[in-house]
Homo-oligomer: A and B are copies of this chain.
């Protein structure tokens, strides 16, 4: 449907997964191969290495995401095929929603195609074991775009619903105590022994994973390259991995 519109420009918003080419889908690779212009935050572009040498690359610094989207539409309006690169999945804390909002703002004709990628909830879970193998929530602790009160409300709701939880953006220089604050909220409902874990540098050099209790997690420092996993009340550490059972009878 979207493809009929090719002559008024085509923009693929492409999730590239954690960073290794082997964790991209063939569909994502093909979208980048076919693009005239690749737009994206430079850190993600660097992950792609030499494969796309010779492409035209456009980027903006962090915090200029709306401008980056407008740039993509400007290129598409010239008749170019554009790929907008996102780490992980394009539609999970990625640029997909902003692209639709900017399309509306500009009244742009370009067709938007979203190409999904492996998000850190999936790739991190695979490293850690199977922490999200039942109903789960994904929550970002970044309060750059979201009031902290809403983040707190969601953490409380996640614990009350006995969801497994994947936590994105658990820390940054300005937010060094956010994971501790999040754990304190979860501990209002969840037991201190709750099985948890975290994965650093998923799919990249220096990848490492750790399991721990919720009480231990509260006193752990993690960096911004870490994804944190909180088990539900049935989760266990098996063979050093964090496992949330689906509920099968053995």
Contact = CB atoms under 8 A, between A and B. Distances in A.
Interface of A: 15, 17, 20-27, 30, 65-66, 89-94, 96-105, 112, 114-119, 122-123, 125-127, 129-140, 145-146, 150-151, 153-154, 156-158, 160-163, 238-239, 241, 243-250
Given A26-B22, A97-B243, A118-B117, A154 B135 contact: yes
Contact of A132 (B66, B92, B122, B161): B92
A143 to B, nearest CB: 10
A73 to B, nearest CB: 13
A91 B157 contact: no
Contacts of A250: 66, 101-102, 105
Nearest to A153: B161
User: In terms of DSSP, what is the predominant structure of the interface of chain A?
Assistant: mixed
Contact of A245 (B89, B98, B117, B130): B98
A245 B17 contact: no
A33 to B, nearest CB: 12
A22 B22 contact: no
Given A98-B245, A150-B162, A116 B105 contact: no
Contacts of A156: 161
A98 to B, nearest CB: 5
A247 B97 CA distance: 9
